[in-house]
Amino acid sequence: MDVREATYEILRAHGLTTIFGNPGSNELTFLDDMPSDFRYILGLHEGVVLGMADGYAQATGRPAFVNLHAAAGTGNAMGVLTDSANAHTPLVVTAGQQVRSQVGTEVMLANVDAPLLPRPLVKWSAEPLCAADVPRTISQAVHTAGTPPTGPVYVSVPLDDWQTEAGADVAHLTQRTVTSAGALTPGQLDDLTAMLDGATSPVLVLGAAVDAAGANEDAVILAERLQAPVWIAPSPSRCPFPTRHPLFRGALPAAIGAVTHLLAGHDVVLVAGAPVFRYHQYDPGQYLPEGARLVHLTDDPAEAARAPIGRSVVSDVGAALQALARSVRQADRPGPPARPLPGVPGGEQEAPLDPAVVLATVDEVTPENVVYVKESTSTTALVWDHLDLHRPGSYYFPAAGGLGWGMGAAVGVQLAEPDRPVVALIGDGSASYAITALWSAARYRVPVTFVVLVNGNYQALQSFTEHMGVTGAPGIDVPGIDFVSLAAGYGVAGHRAHGRDELRQLLTDAVADDGPHLIEVPTRAINPFA
């Protein structure tokens, strides 16, 4: 058995039989005569490749395998890798290296200092010191990516290594398992339970890791027993709590002063599965309201160490929430009143539509088991008001805010969830970063419905200019893009919705079809800070 055969055996043992890639000459020796039980999903740009793999890994909850081309391919993928790193997406990212004997002279396509290239966006990176160590390094990469806190890893492999004879110990690698046992100790559980039971006004702040663990129902049980309002942590990339539950309050803003204002009046703040906190726009103030205590549950030791306030407990987030939900007393205080939902603007039937009308229409038409992949950054606050999200794994958003992730991620999520319809809500500025994802959707007949909200500019950036008092900044307008024609060019059925009724019908037809569709919707620009 050579190194290439041994690596396929290891990947097969872990169920990594889908390869997302865009190959170059350095990768051909690995891809030579690929086994028939593997499938290769080609993306026309490495950012799309990584986006597809990211969506696939998040939706399956298991590592996904990526094959990129040397330094250039890795560089093209790194914009999306920022989102993968912040989402703790388990990815095994590999890249081809030049022949070992030529790397030192920096020949064409040599990946110089390859392990340094993707840092600090990966948990671990390596280039094996010899060909015989490639299978063990790939095994280590799979286990590292999938062990909490999960995240992307990177391995550079010289192209002549694949044809080298593998060692006799390869069989051990296919049988290895690594598991994590990070439950709360009895003492920790008792302590946290006493704190929550003794609170007069507790509040929960939940993050993406709750949804990733499938612990949404345990979060509901805990909130109902405590009669505590629930916020989603700032800049959420997933939805950990039902948006129509009477205890749900929405997503916290990504600013110190604004968070403190909204948490005022609570004496205990329980943060689970999120950093404390991921701020964005500068809004100074106290980190917590006067008299409040914060406790933080996370499976990421680094996340715990860098938190500026509170007491952090490093634990399996899903197991901890389940234990707490069954341990706390049923509170006898009345629950807070349900938040009033804003109405949908009425009477508006013709384009350009208000984005709230678009989201309300999408929610009205799509099936109960729909999955949303969203990269329309200026409309993010509207999601919590107008989309009914209640199933685990129903919402994905770029965790680092970097554009170019969403269209590829939607294809990856749909590949992972063939029995659930996937609707991608993409801004026109975002769509242009990764429009080639349409080719992959058409090539593999992946039935994503892409809804492109077109307002002719980078609206989130435009709103920041107003928020920051900046005038005359260039490069904000992006008018004149015909996404219907672009879709047709890539082999995807393209449509333009001229009004709400037409949008409703186009969505109904697209979601029912077994192929990809793109619907362009002219929308009004809105200010997310208003």
- Look at residue 203 and tell me if it is in a domain: yes
Domains in the chain, number: 3
Distance CA 435, CA 489 (A): 11
Lowest-confidence range among 176-190, 390-404, 457-471? 457-471
- Evaluate whether 4 touches 163 at the Cβ level (below 8 Å): yes
Q: How far apart are CA 385 and CA 244, in angstroms?
A: 9
Q: Is residue 93 part of a domain?
A: yes
Q: Are residues 316 and 450 in the same domain?
A: no
Please indicate, yes or no, if residue 191 is contained in any of the structural domains: yes
CA angle (49, 515, 421) in 5-degree steps: 80
User: Catalytic one among 14, 27, 127, 495?
Assistant: 27
Three-state secondary-structure class, residue 372: strand
Residues 168 and 237 in one domain: no
Q: Rounded distance, CA 405 to CA 418, Å? A: 20
Q: What is the CATH number of the domain that holds 33?
A: 3.40.50.970
Q: What is the pLDDT of residue 529?
A: 61
Structure letter (DSSP) for residue 336: P
Q: What is the pLDDT, as a whole number, of residue 411?
A: 98
Within 147-185, residue ranges assigned H as helices are 170-174
Final residue in a domain of this structure, among 174, 199, 220: 174
| Residue 24: active-site member | yes
Give me the helix-helix angle, 500-512 and 355-365, nearest 10°.
40
Query: What percentage of residues in the chain have a pLDDT greater than 70?
Result: 98
Residue 512 and residue 401 in one domain: yes
Rounded Cα gap, residues 240 and 274, in angstroms:
11
| 3-state SS class at 477 | strand
Alpha carbon distance 352, 343 (integer Å): 18
Q: pLDDT for 294-347, tens place per residue?
A: 999 999 999 999 999 999 999 999 999 999 999 999 999 988 888 988 887 776
Confidence of residue 283 (pLDDT cuts 50, 70, 90): confident
- CB of 324 within 8 A of CB of 196? yes
User: Helix, strand or coil for residue 298?
Assistant: strand
- Same domain as 261, residue 117: no
> pTM of the full predicted structure?
0.95
Catalytic site residue from 24, 335, 499, 515: 24
401 tagged catalytic: yes
Whether 115 and 197 share a structural domain: no
Check 101, 172, 198, 280 and give the catalytic one: 280
- pLDDT single digits (tens) 345-369: 776 688 899 999 999 999 999 999 9
Task: Tell me: pLDDT of 460 over 90.
Answer: no
pLDDT value at residue 332:
93
Q: Is 417 a catalytic residue?
A: no
Residue keyed to tokens 């993968």: 84
DSSP-based helix, strand, coil % in the chain, nearest 5: 40, 20, 45
Q: Name the catalytic one among 14, 21, 43, 46.
A: 46
Catalytic residue among 15, 25, 265, 285: 25
Active site (annotated) includes residue 27: yes
Quickly list H helices, 170-226: 170-174, 186-197, 208-212, 216-226
> Is the same domain home to 150 and 72?
yes
Active site residue 280: yes
Residue with tokens 């909130």: 223
In 273-429 the beta strands, taken as DSSP E runs, fall at 293-298, 311-314, 371-375, 395-396, 422-427
Q: Supply the pLDDT for residue 506.
A: 98
Q: What is the pLDDT of residues 33-74, one digit of tens each?
A: 999 999 999 999 999 999 999 999 999 999 999 999 999 999
360: CB partners within 8 A, 6+ apart? 344, 386
Last residue of a domain, which of 146, 174, 202? 174
Report whether 19 contacts 57 (CB < 8 A): no
pLDDT per residue as tens digits for the range 219-236: 999 999 999 999 999 999
**pLDDT value for 209:** 98
> What SS3 string covers 425-468?
EEEHHHHCCCCCHHHHHHHCCCCCEEEEEECCECHHHHHHHHHH
Q: Is the domain of 372 the same as that of 420?
A: yes
Element (H, E) at 10: helix 3-13
Domain membership of residue 108 (yes or no) is: yes
Highest mean pLDDT among 155-164, 175-184, 276-285, 520-529: 155-164
Residues whose CB falls within 8 Å of the CB of residue 256, separated by 6 or more in sequence, listed in order: 277, 279, 283, 284, 285, 286, 287
User: Hey, is 152 helix, strand or coil?
Assistant: coil
Q: What is the mean pLDDT of the chain?
A: 94
In a domain, 339, yes or no: no
Q: Which of 140, 174, 208 is the last residue of a domain?
A: 174
Across residues 201-214, what is the average pLDDT?
Answer: 98
Residue 180 lies in a domain: no
Mean pLDDT of 83-87: 97
Q: Which two tokens stand for residue 439?
A: 């080719």
Q: Are residues 170 and 190 in the same domain?
A: no
User: Is 470 found in the same domain as 416?
Assistant: yes
The CATH number that applies at residue 258 is 3.40.50.1220
Instruction: Give the active site residue among 45, 69, 296, 386.
Output: 69
Active site residue 25: yes
What pLDDT sits at residue 308?
94
pLDDT score at 23:
94
Is the pLDDT assigned to residue 530 strictly greater than 70?
no
Q: Based on the domain organization, do 361 and 490 belong to the same domain? A: yes
| Domain span at 162 | 3-174
Residue 341 lies in a domain: no
* Active-site residue identified among 79, 401, 412, 427: 401
Residues 369 and 437 in one domain: yes
pLDDT band at 459 (very low <50, low <70, confident <90, very high): low
Residue 334 lies in a domain: no
514 and 427 inside one domain: yes
